[in-house]
Each structure stands twice: as C-alpha cells, then as structure tokens.
C-alpha cells in the first residue's frame, strides 16, 4: 500500500466536532436573550456547571481565553501582580491579555512539570512595601498544557490554596482540561476545585462541544465576571444554541476521556520504540503527548510538515519539541496508523538513513 489513505488529526483536542446528540439538542434548544438572563438553556448549563464544580454560580463565555480574562479582571486591580507558572497558558498563549487589558504584571514562578509547590510561591511573594506592586491572585493550570498534560493532585492544590489563604490571596484555576485531570486521578472533579476560589473549564476541547467555556465561583464573583464579559463583547443573545451542546458535553462526554488517556499512553509507548524520538512514556498522564524529534535531525516544524504530507497532523512546540493530542474521534487504528507514519518519516530522515515508502498498518 502506498502513501496515506486518511487524515489523523492529533494537533489538539479542540478539533473535535459536536456529536449527533449535541446537534439534535442544539436544534431543539429552548432559547431566549441571555443578556437579559432569559435563555433557559444557558441558565441550565450555568446551574449544572456550578453544581458539578461545587460552587455557587457559573457563567458561559465564548472561549477559554475569554473565561480566564474575565476571571482575572474580576478579582484584581490595575498595577497588581499575578503569580503564574512559567509556562502557563494564560501567560504564554493568551496574547498578554491580562497585561494589555487589565494592566496586570505577571510574576512567573518555575514549576515542576507544571505544578507549583508551596515553597516556590512562598519565595516569590513579596512583603508589603511601597516599591512593590501588590499581589492578590495566584493562577494555576490543571492539567498543565505546555508541561504535557500533567495533573495537579488534590493535595498539591490544597497546599497552594492554604498558602494563598494564609497571605490573603485568591487562587484561580485554568481548568481547561480539569475533567481530564479528575479522570486520570480517579477523583471527583470537586476534589480539585474545592481548593480554588475561581476556575474556568472548556466545553470545546475533549468534551467535544463546538464553542464555549465556563467561569465558576461564588455569586458575587460571577456578577462581576458577567459585567467584564459584556465589556469584552461576550454578551451573547440566543446562546442556548451553544449551551445545549455544553450540557451534553458535561453530562455525556466526561467518562470517555479515559479512552483518550489510554490512546495517549499507547502512542507514547509506540513512540518510545522509534529511533531518534525522545519520550518518557511514564510522563504521559492524560491526553497530551509531548516529545522531542531533534534526534531525527529535524526541527519541530520540519517534522510536522513531513507528517502532514502523510496525513498525520501534529503541533510543533519549540526547537525539536512537538506534541500530539488524543481526543473524541481518535481510535486505536488511528494511533496505529500514526505510529506507522511516524516510523516511516523517521526512517527517511536525514540522520537515520533507511529509505522506505510510507505504508499503512493494515
């Protein structure tokens, strides 16, 4: 068999499409004007989200980026410092929004596979002094995207929360993939969210809804977040169309994240057998598989371009680092297909010279 016969898209879990059940729910959703608080489907999704996370209230936003931004703006003032992990999505990939729009200063702290320890933060906290910007917020990320989908345990979250409270600080959780974390650790998601003041989670990643992220916290915070969402142009009208899919995402799509983790591990083990690729499969905890292809004599961009030509899509990080993400719609055969294609690209790389045609794993 020659060259590729299909496309396996492992760039991100954001490429997931809505399920049939979601499309039907969207079609028949009861709608109203959500800026007036009159969309019953949005109201239902917000109540469900708050309950799932063990908090008082929730707010539907357009994206994870908007959810993080309204969360931060709602509990800080211009000129304050915000503590974040070095590689936090909020710092790295959100266009500097909280600095540009909120006048906030990031104070970066190096974590351990994305996880901040109590002492890391303690060292970064500055005493009250006329020379220093005040700090009121610590942001954490679970699972941590750039660290490769790593999880924070309940006890790790608790220790940072306790430190925060002893200094009068709030903790915001970027929980874009918080359900992946809960499933990977076999804990109820509330074991992770009880130790944060506010959080956001995404409906549109592994949970497969087409649009939307939820901000969650106490009632007062959600009231403020609602104003900031409006300020940012995120007041949507008949948003029940989106919320209908979100309800299915929360009610029906959480348990299947386990399959994504199984396939991510399978992928990691297969990659570990390929010469020129560096990965430690024991570090793959959820659905993100990050690895190094520099041993093939290729940059991440060159490698992803070569993979793209054989129908397997991946994301380049930096230098020789790349990543693949499993998600709804990716099955065992797709992982086998991807591994065969990766093997063949590796065999044809300039360093490992064993020319072969790309073939499919029948």
Ligand X SMILES: Cc1ncc(COP(=O)(O)O)c(C=O)c1O
Query: Which residues of the chain form contacts with ligand X (CB under 6 A)?
Result: 63-65, 68, 89, 141, 145, 174, 176, 202, 204, 213
Q: Between residues 246 and 311, which has the closer beta carbon with respect to ligand X? A: 246
User: Quick one: CA dihedral 36, 41, 44, 49, positive or negative?
Assistant: negative
Task: Give me the least distance between CB of 156 and ligand X, in Å please.
Answer: 17
3-state secondary structure at position 224 = helix
What is the number of the residue whose Cβ is closest to ligand X? 64
Task: Give me the least distance between CB of 35 and ligand X, in Å please.
Answer: 21
Burial of 189 from C-beta contacts in 10 A (0-12 / 13-18 / 19+)? buried
Q: Between residues 88 and 339, which has the closer beta carbon with respect to ligand X? A: 88
Q: Between residues 14 and 43, which has the closer beta carbon with respect to ligand X? A: 14
- Where do runs of H (alpha helix) occur along the chain? 20-27, 40-53, 64-73, 89-92, 97-102, 118-124, 154-166, 178-185, 190-193, 219-231, 240-252, 257-272, 300-309, 332-347
Token pair for 80: 């304050």
What secondary structure, in 3-state letters, does 323-343 show?
A: EEECCCCCCHHHHHHHHHHHH
Task: Give me the least distance between CB of 110 and ligand X, in Å please.
Answer: 17
Task: Give me the least distance between CB of 342 and ligand X, in Å please.
Answer: 23
3-state secondary structure at position 294 = helix
Q: Between residues 169 and 178, which has the closer beta carbon with respect to ligand X? A: 178
Q: Between residues 81 and 174, which has the closer beta carbon with respect to ligand X? A: 174
Task: Give me the least distance between CB of 114 and ligand X, in Å please.
Answer: 10
Question: With contact defined as beta carbons under 8 Å apart, do 341 and 358 qualify?
Answer: yes
Task: Give me the least distance between CB of 174 and ligand X, in Å please.
Answer: 5
Angle at 76 between CA 136 and CA 127, to 5 degrees: 30
Q: Between residues 289 and 341, which has the closer beta carbon with respect to ligand X? A: 289
């Amino acid at each position: 068999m020659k060259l590729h016969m299909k496309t396996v898209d492992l760039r991100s879990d954001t490429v997931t499409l809505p399920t049939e059940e979601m499309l039907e729910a969207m079609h028949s959703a009861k709608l109203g004007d959500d800026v007036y608080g009159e969309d019953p489907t949005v109201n239902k999704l917000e109540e469900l989200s708050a309950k799932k996370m063990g908090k008082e209230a929730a707010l539907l936003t357009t994206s994870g980026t908007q959810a993080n931004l309204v969360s931060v703006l709602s509990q800080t003032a211009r000129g304050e410092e915000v503590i974040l992990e070095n590689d936090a999505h909020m710092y790295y990939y959100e266009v500097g929004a909280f600095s540009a729009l909120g006048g906030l200063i990031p104070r970066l702290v190096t974590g351990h596979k994305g996880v901040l320890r109590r002492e890391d933060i303690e060292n970064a906290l500055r005493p009250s002094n006329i020379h220093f910007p005040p700090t009121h917020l610590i942001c954490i990320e679970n699972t941590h995207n750039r660290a490769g989908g790593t999880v924070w345990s309940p006890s790790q979250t608790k220790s940072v929360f306790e430190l925060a409270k002893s200094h009068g600080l709030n903790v915001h959780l970027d929980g874009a993939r918080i359900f992946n974390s809960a499933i990977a650790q076999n804990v109820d998601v509330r074991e992770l969210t009880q130790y944060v003041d506010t959080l956001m989670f995404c409906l549109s990643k592994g949970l497969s809804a087409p649009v939307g992220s939820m901000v969650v916290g106490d009632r007062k915070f959600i009231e403020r977040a609602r104003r900031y969402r409006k300020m940012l142009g995120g007041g949507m009208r008949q948003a029940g169309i989106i919320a209908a899919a979100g309800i299915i995402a929360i009610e029906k799509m959480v348990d299947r994240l386990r399959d994504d983790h199984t396939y991510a591990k399978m992928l990691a083990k297969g990659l570990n057998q390929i010469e020129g690729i560096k990965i430690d499969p024991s570090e793959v905890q959820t659905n993100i598989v990050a690895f190094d292809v520099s041993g093939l004599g290729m940059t991440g961009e060159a490698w992803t371009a070569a993979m793209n030509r054989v129908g397997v899509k991946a994301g380049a990080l930096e230098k020789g680092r790349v990543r693949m993400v499993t998600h709804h719609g990716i099955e065992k055969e797709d992982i086998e297909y991807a591994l065969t294609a990766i093997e063949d690209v590796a065999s044809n790389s300039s360093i490992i010279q064993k020319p072969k045609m790309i073939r499919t794993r029948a």
